[in-house]
Every structure is written in C-alpha cells, then in structure tokens.
Amino acid sequence: MDVTADELAGIVDLFDALTREELAQALSELAFKRREDVAAEAFDDDVEAALSSYHLVAVPAAEEDFLVTGPSAFPSLPADAEDLPHILDVPERRVDHDRLARVVSERFEADVSSALAEDDTDRIKTLLEVSYDLPVWADVDVEASRARLDDALA
C-alpha cells in the first residue's frame, strides 16, 4: 500500500495527534480493509520522510512522542480512512500549540544549521519552502533562517 506524506498527515489530522505506534496501527487497518498484507514497519520510511519534509512533526510527550500535522501538509485522507476513528481506540489528546511552535521552531533552526554546514542543496531548498509555510502554521519568526537559506542558494 502506497501512502503519501499528505495522506499520513490526513490520518493524523483525524485524531489531532497520534503516536507512531497508533499511526502504524491505522495504516495496518487501512491495508487490511484493502485486502493487502502489509507489515506496520513497511511504513517507517514514509513516516520518516513525512517528518523530514515537515508534513508531520513530533511533539515530545511524557511517554512517547506524538505526531501532529505539520506546516508543509495539505492533509488528505486515503481511501477508506474515514472509518479509522471508529476502528482505533485512541484517547482524546490536547496539544499545547505554543509548545508545539517552540519545538518545531527549534527543530527547524537545527535543521537549517545542519543543512548549511553540510552544504546540502536539496535539503536547503526543502527547508526554504518550509520557511514560507512555518510562520503561517504557527507564530514563529524564521526570517533570519530564510535569509541564510536564500544566501546559500545564491
């Protein structure tokens, strides 16, 4: 079963926040509904790619990080996903959006520094795109980082 980063964000968005294990369970349920035999681990690379592209972001929690829809996402539901809230037993969660903004801002700054230090042009381009989405998604200032990314591509 193929799943896009926006579809992963759509599934997470149905619940506001999911653990990685809960997202894997949701994906396994979708595969089952489609009569496909797919191990939950088969989606690990897709989740990592969605985190890297800021379609999903991880929020540290007491026991396990929560995944939430990120600034680059245009959440969409894969076929048959609308029933997932009725299938999965996921507790209701509240995400502290101020804390989420701080966590993502710090991660973004670290990613920018890393991409610039490694002179990773593809990553710099990705982060430059994220720099336009991030301030709309949360109240964060990324102007200085955007300027650094722009300078690196000039």
Count how many domains the chain has. Answer: 2
Which residue range forms the structural domain that includes residue 112? 97-153
Q: What is the CATH number of the domain that holds 20?
A: 1.10.10
- 92 domain residue, yes or no: no
**Could you tell me the pTM of the whole model?**
0.92
Q: Measured between alpha carbons, how far is 58 from 48 in angstroms, rounded to an integer?
A: 11
**Higher confidence at residue 27 or residue 95?**
27
Q: Do both 125 and 145 map to the same domain? A: yes
Q: Do both 39 and 57 map to the same domain? A: yes
Q: Which of 54, 87, 120 is the last residue of a domain?
A: 87
Please state, rounded to an integer, the average pLDDT across all residues of the chain: 92
pLDDT in tens, 33-79: 888 887 777 789 999 999 999 999 999 877 788 999 999 999 999 98
| Local confidence band at 27 (pLDDT 50, 70, 90 cut-offs) | very high
Please answer whether residues 25 and 52 qualify as being in contact, where contact means their C-beta atoms are separated by less than 8 angstroms: no
Q: Measured between alpha carbons, how far is 37 from 146 in angstroms, rounded to an integer?
A: 43
- 45 domain residue, yes or no: yes
Q: Which of 87, 105, 131 is the last residue of a domain?
A: 87
Give the helix ranges, DSSP H, for the chain. 5-15, 20-33, 44-52, 84-87, 97-118, 121-137, 143-153
Report the pLDDT value the prediction gives residue 107, as an integer from 0 to 100. 95
| Local confidence band at 25 (pLDDT 50, 70, 90 cut-offs) | very high
Q: Which of 40, 58, 87 is the last residue of a domain?
A: 87
Q: Do both 56 and 109 map to the same domain? A: no
